[in-house]
Structure 1
Amino acid sequence: MKAFLGACCIVLLLAGCSVPRAIREGGPMPGQRVDPVGKVLILGVKDGQEQGQSPAQGSGQELVDSLRKVLAEHSVPLSTTPAQALPAGFDEAVSGGWNYVLKGEITHWEDNATAWSGKGDKLFISVELYDAKTKQLVAAATEQRTATGFTFVSGTPDRFMDEVSVGALSKIYGWPIAK
Structure 2
Amino acid sequence: MRKMIRALSLLSAMFLLAACADSHQLMKSNGTSGFSMAPDEPLYVSVPRDGVYGSQRYNGSGMTTAQILQGAFLKYADNVSYGNSTQSRSEAWEAAMQAGAIYLVFPTILHWEDRATEWSGKPDQIEVKVQVIDVATNTVEASAIAKGQSGLATLGGDRPQDLLSKPVNEFVSSLYDRQ
Q: TM-score range by the shorter chain?
A: 0.7 to 0.9
Aligned ranges for residues 89-128 of structure 1 at < 5 Å? 89-128=92-131
1:57: how far off? 1.5
Sequence identity (%): 19
The whole-number CA distance in structure 1 between the counterparts of 2:126 and 2:107 is: 13
Say whether the 8 Å CA contact 1:141–1:169 is kept in structure 2: no
1:89: how far off? 1.9
Name the counterpart of 1:34: 36
Q: Deviations 1:45-68 (Å, cap 9, x if unpaired)?
A: 211111x23211211111111111
Aligned amino acid, residue 94 of structure 1 = M
The whole-number CA distance in structure 2 between the counterparts of 1:157 and 1:30 is: 26
List alignment gaps of at least 5 residues for structure 2: none
Scaled by the length of structure 2, what TM-score is found?
0.79
After TM superposition, the structure 1 stretch with the greater mean CA deviation from structure 2, 100-109 or 87-96, is 87-96
After TM superposition, the structure 1 stretch with the greater mean CA deviation from structure 2, 11-20 or 37-46, is 11-20
Aligned ranges for residues 17-56 of structure 1 at < 5 Å? 17=17, 18-26=20-28, 29=31, 33-37=35-39, 38-50=41-53, 52-56=54-58
Whether 2:163 is the aligned partner of 1:160: answer: yes
Scaled by the length of structure 1, what TM-score is found?
0.79
List alignment gaps of at least 5 residues for structure 1: none
Whether 2:153 is the aligned partner of 1:146: answer: no
1:119: how far off? 2.9
The whole-number CA distance in structure 2 between the counterparts of 1:162 and 1:30 is: 19
1:85: how far off? 1.3
The whole-number CA distance in structure 1 between the counterparts of 2:117 and 2:147 is: 21
The whole-number CA distance in structure 2 between the counterparts of 1:23 and 1:141 is: 10
Name the counterpart of 1:87: 90
1:69 to 71, 74, 80: 71
Distance 1:63 1:31, change over 3 A: closer
Say whether the 8 Å CA contact 2:24–2:163 is kept in structure 1: no
1:118: how far off? 3.4
1:120: how far off? 2.0
Say whether the 8 Å CA contact 2:123–2:150 is kept in structure 1: yes
Q: Deviations 1:146-178 (Å, cap 9, x if unpaired)?
A: 123x3151232122132232133234x0549xx
1:137: how far off? 0.7
RMSD value over aligned CA atoms?
3.0
Say whether the 8 Å CA contact 1:110–1:122 is kept in structure 2: yes
User: Higher helix share goes to which structure?
Assistant: 2
Q: Deviations 1:110-152 (Å, cap 9, x if unpaired)?
A: 223131443321111110011111101111011111123x315
Paired positions, count: 173
After TM superposition, the structure 1 stretch with the greater mean CA deviation from structure 2, 14-23 or 122-131, is 14-23
The whole-number CA distance in structure 2 between the counterparts of 1:99 and 1:151 is: 43
The whole-number CA distance in structure 1 between the counterparts of 2:36 and 2:78 is: 11
